[in-house]
Amino acid sequence: MSSEIIVSRPHYDSRAAAQGVHQKSPPLEQEVPQASSGSATAGYRSAKYTPAEWFSNYQTILEQAGTNRRDAQNIQHESRTLSQDTEAAALKTQATGTRLLGERLQEIHSWKSELQRHIELLQADTESLLMVKKRLERALDATETPYAIATDNLTCRARRLGAELVRDTVEEELLKEVDLIRSIQALLKKTAAQVGTQIRNQDAQQTLEMDWSDKCQAYSFDDSCGRNHNMSPDTQQHPSSATMQEQMLQDTTEDLRVQCASVERAFSLHCEDLIEAKTQLEMKLAQTLEQIGVQEKNIEVLQRAIHNKEAPLRVAQSRLYLRSLRPNMELCRDQPQLLEGEVRQIDASLESLKQKLSGARSSLSHLEESRMALEKDINCKTNSLFIEREKCMIHRKRYPTISVLSGY
């Protein structure tokens, strides 16, 4: 062995160094005293280690090195395993997240497409409603002409004369027409107001859905656009269209057309009745005028007959008077005295002729009354016929067509 003094090195923990732990330097051992001789070295051990210590020391180092190596290998193995596990977990998590984001994005695109489709349907329905609203307004304006015609017909027919001023079928149909037009106008106004409200509601809903669609576009990867977020039940179905209003326009137009036809038919039938009655009255007037002429001639004949009886009566009366002046026995009732019977006969004839003349004159007066009544009624019928045909029916030719009444 060397005679040099072996100085022990400070203990160094390699594991602490591997883990980055800073080791405090051990305190320096007291400097080993130099070998000396004599009594001065008494009580001090030699600075040299024993072979056992030497062996123990390097065995300890070997064991520590082996332990450190095994620890390092374990850590390396665990690190590789942990790295692989974490990488696999990260890949799996990322794949799941990518899949979920893809599904989420697909759902958002689907919802956006559905919203876009619904917005287009809303826009189309709103345009249809706007067209219907315009048609309702045009139809409402178009009803003013039928109303004016019907009321004018009633006003004109109020100027009928005498017994012609009657509440007949024509007047009843005209009153029905006026009531129908009023009810149609009220319905058109109410429907137009409802359509206006529906248009405003759909515009508001369309704006809301467009905002919602833009929000989903801006936050496609955010969950703020949830399935039920701002989704109203109306967005899941097509909004109500203008079919009901279209049907209402067609129904009201058809009702007005049917009533107009009823009024026209009533006018036609009434004109036929007027013409027939006027014809009969004119025929009766002609007969009456003929009878008046005949009666006037009959009166003239009776007057001449009466006049012709006056001369024979005066002759017979003069003869009777003169024969009454006969004297004495000559004043007898002889055959010529039968002139008294002649006078009585002539008087009776005159009385009969005068009675007949009175009857003829009375008959003539009645015929004249009939003539005036017939002429007056004919004038009334003529006036009524003029009102019906020249005032009312011609005015009704200005009645709007079906397309105008339906708003087209």
Instruction: Indicate which CATH number applies to the domain containing 400.
Output: 1.10.287
d(CA 199, CA 196): 5
Is 290 found in the same domain as 176? Answer: no
- The total of other beta-carbon atoms located within 10 Å of residue 231's CB is 16
Is 254 found in the same domain as 188? Answer: no
Q: Is residue 208 part of a domain?
A: no
Is 377 found in the same domain as 258? Answer: yes
Q: Is residue 388 part of a domain?
A: yes
Residue among 153, 142, 159 at smallest CA distance from 175? 153
d(CA 8, CA 54): 10
Q: Is residue 236 part of a domain?
A: no
In this predicted model, what pLDDT tens digit does every residue of 75-101 receive, in sequence order?
999 888 988 988 888 898 889 888 898
Rounded to 5 degrees, what are φ and ψ at 12? -125, 120
Q: Considering 167, 200, 233, which residue would you say is the last residue of a domain?
A: 200
d(CA 115, CA 341): 128
Is 389 found in the same domain as 254? Answer: yes
Is 292 found in the same domain as 378? Answer: yes
Q: How many structural domains compose the chain?
A: 2
Is 291 found in the same domain as 172? Answer: no
- The total of other beta-carbon atoms located within 10 Å of residue 151's CB is 14
Q: Is residue 12 part of a domain?
A: no
Is 144 found in the same domain as 67? Answer: yes
Residue among 216, 253, 293, 279 at smallest CA distance from 406? 253
Q: Considering 182, 200, 218, which residue would you say is the last residue of a domain?
A: 200
d(CA 257, CA 221): 61
Give the model's pLDDT for residue 9.
44
Q: Considering 134, 165, 200, which residue would you say is the last residue of a domain?
A: 200
Is 393 found in the same domain as 261? Answer: yes
The two structure tokens encoding residue 183: 């009810």
Contact 181, 150 (CB under 8 A): yes
Q: Is residue 212 part of a domain?
A: no
The two structure tokens encoding residue 321: 């008077």
Is 194 found in the same domain as 272? Answer: no
Q: Is residue 178 part of a domain?
A: yes
Question: Which amino acid type is present at position 47?
Answer: A
Is 180 found in the same domain as 82? Answer: yes
Is 393 found in the same domain as 260? Answer: yes
> Terminal CA-to-CA distance of the chain, rounded, Å?
130
Looking from the CA of 350 toward its CB, the CA atoms found within 13 Å total: 15
Is 194 found in the same domain as 261? Answer: no
Measure the CA dihedral 337/339/341/342, to 10°. Answer: 170
Q: Is residue 370 part of a domain?
A: yes
Q: Is residue 127 part of a domain?
A: yes
d(CA 282, CA 292): 15
Please give the chain's pLDDT, 408 residues, in tens.
Answer: 344 334 444 444 444 444 444 444 444 444 444 444 444 444 445 567 888 888 899 899 989 998 999 989 999 998 889 889 888 888 988 898 888 988 888 888 888 888 888 888 888 888 888 888 888 888 889 899 999 999 999 999 999 988 888 899 999 999 999 999 999 999 999 988 988 888 888 878 777 777 866 665 554 444 445 444 444 444 444 445 567 877 888 888 889 999 999 999 999 999 999 999 999 999 999 999 999 999 999 999 998 888 887 767 776 667 666 666 666 655 555 555 555 666 677 788 888 888 999 999 999 999 999 999 999 999 999 999 999 999 999 988 888 776 666 666
Radius of gyration of the chain, Cα coordinates, nearest whole angstrom: 69
Q: Which domain holds residue 360?
A: 248-324+335-406
Count of helices and strands (H, E) across the chain = 8, 0
> In this structure, what DSSP letter does residue 47 have?
S
d(CA 147, CA 99): 70
